[in-house]
């Protein structure tokens, strides 16, 4: 049995070549491409401006695997968590986060995660596989539909902060971003997209060399190797000095400011000494800092910092002339908040 090639793995040139070989008019190429990426269609039958014969021709030669929403949960604060069913039966999760004046999609790049960060529910699942760029794109398209349905507006922002480590699936993440920002795709500004990573130095440098136009956020959570290594095991392979070197290169090449994400854990990384370590780290390049309240994960052994402690931590950093935002969690009641995605 011959396995059909996924239609969405073809470039525009690939579609053109197929139609030329099969004696079809060239204007059909753009029609098909628009259906795939601008209109986010989900089957050949939806391509209504193509004849039945052409749709049948495509169906004979290509597969069209898509992800579907398996379950949907809505939080008291309006956050919507979706469990997406992949073509091979695996599941990943994505989140629609409404806030004043905008809606944000938080999407996954891997089924599970290989990094096993101690505070993260996804890390306890283990790693199954990388997502294909079309599977990443499908999450965005489906959450876009939710945004319009429930909040009457298209997505304002996209964050690659769901399940998995995006830079360990760099090529598929990059390709999915290209489809989202392509005027022939969703046409979203790259300034509205953020890719978040615990920091893989060679991939950070590659982002710079590839002239990535989206924003980059580093999940730091501790600015000393001994502490960071306790919660982010991959820090032992990529210590902070290597990250600093890669981030300096990234800023030099792109000129872009780096977002630092820092979850505050009670009595672990939330003291003034920790704030001082963070301030020293952040003097290496222009940054903005997002302080994030911890969302408890079963058997992780951490508690969220107290409100007063978080405020003292923030004030210390601001006195060092650093830009600091304190991010409140959304969707905690449905396990949709940062670090909680684990299929529950």
Q: CA 62 to CA 90: how far, in whole Å?
A: 22
Exposed (0-12), middle (13-18) or buried (19+): which is 214, by Cβ within 10 Å? buried
338 is catalytic: yes
Q: CA 134 to CA 43: how far, in whole Å?
A: 13
Q: Three-state SS across the chain? A: CCCCEEHHHCCHHHHHHHHHHCCCCCHHHHHHHHHHHHCCCCCHHHCCCCCHHHHHHHHHHEECCCCEEEEEEECCCCCEEEEEECCCCCEEEEEEEEECCEEEEECCCEEECCCCCCCCCHHHCCEEEECCHHHHHHHHHHHHHHHHHHHCCCCCEEEECCCCCHHHHHHHHHHHHHHHHCCCCCCCCHHHEEEEECCCHHHHHHHHHCCCCCEEEEECCCCCHHHHHHHCHHHHCCCHHHHHHHHHHHHHHHCCCEEEEEEEECCCCCCHHHHHHHHHHHCCCCEEEEEEECCCCCCCCCCECCHHHHHHHHHHHHHCCCEEEEECCCCHHHCCCCCCCCCC
Of the residues 41, 106, 117, 338, which is catalytic? 338
Exposed (0-12), middle (13-18) or buried (19+): which is 247, by Cβ within 10 Å? buried
Tokens representing 14 are 């690939």
Of the residues 16, 41, 93, 117, which is catalytic? 93
Give bridge partners of residue 288 from the DSSP assignment: 259, 323
93 is catalytic: yes
Residues acting as catalytic residues: 93, 338
């Amino acid at each position: 049995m011959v396995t059909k090639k996924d239609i969405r793995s073809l470039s525009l040139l690939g579609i053109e070549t197929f139609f030329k070989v099969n004696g079809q008019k060239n204007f059909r190429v753009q029609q098909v491409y628009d259906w795939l990426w601008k209109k986010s269609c989900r089957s050949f039958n939806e391509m209504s401006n193509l004849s039945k014969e052409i749709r049948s021709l495509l169906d004979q030669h290509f597969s069209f695997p898509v992800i579907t929403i398996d379950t949907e949960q809505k939080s008291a604060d309006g956050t919507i968590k979706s469990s997406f069913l992949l073509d091979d039966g695996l599941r990943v999760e994505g989140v629609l986060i409404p806030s004043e004046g905008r809606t944000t999609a938080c999407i996954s790049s891997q089924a599970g995660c290989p990094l096993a960060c101690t505070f993260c529910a996804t890390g306890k699942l283990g790693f199954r596989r990388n997502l294909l760029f079309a599977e990443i794109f499908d999450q965005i398209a489906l959450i876009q539909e939710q945004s319009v349905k429930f909040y009457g507006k298209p997505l304002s922002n996209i964050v690659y902060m769901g399940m998995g480590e995006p830079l360990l699936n760099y090529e598929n993440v990059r390709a999915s971003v290209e489809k989202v920002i392509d005027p022939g795709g969703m046409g979203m500004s790259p300034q509205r997209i953020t890719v978040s990573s615990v920091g893989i130095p060679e991939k950070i440098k590659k982002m710079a060399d590839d002239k990535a136009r989206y924003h980059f956020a580093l999940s730091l959570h501790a600015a000393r190797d001994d502490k960071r290594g306790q919660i982010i095991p991959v820090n032992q392979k990529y210590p902070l000095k290597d990250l600093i070197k890669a981030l300096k290169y990234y800023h030099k090449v792109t000129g872009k400011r780096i977002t630092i994400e820092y979850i505050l854990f009670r009595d672990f990384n939330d003291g003034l000494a920790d704030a001082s370590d963070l301030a020293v780290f952040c003097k290496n390049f222009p940054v903005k800092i997002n302080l994030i309240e911890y969302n408890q994960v079963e058997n992780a052994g951490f508690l969220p910092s107290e409100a007063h402690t978080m405020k003292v931590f923030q004030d210390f950093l601001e006195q060092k002339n650093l830009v600091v935002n304190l991010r409140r969690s959304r969707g905690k009641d449905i396990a949709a908040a940062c670090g909680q995605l684990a299929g529950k």
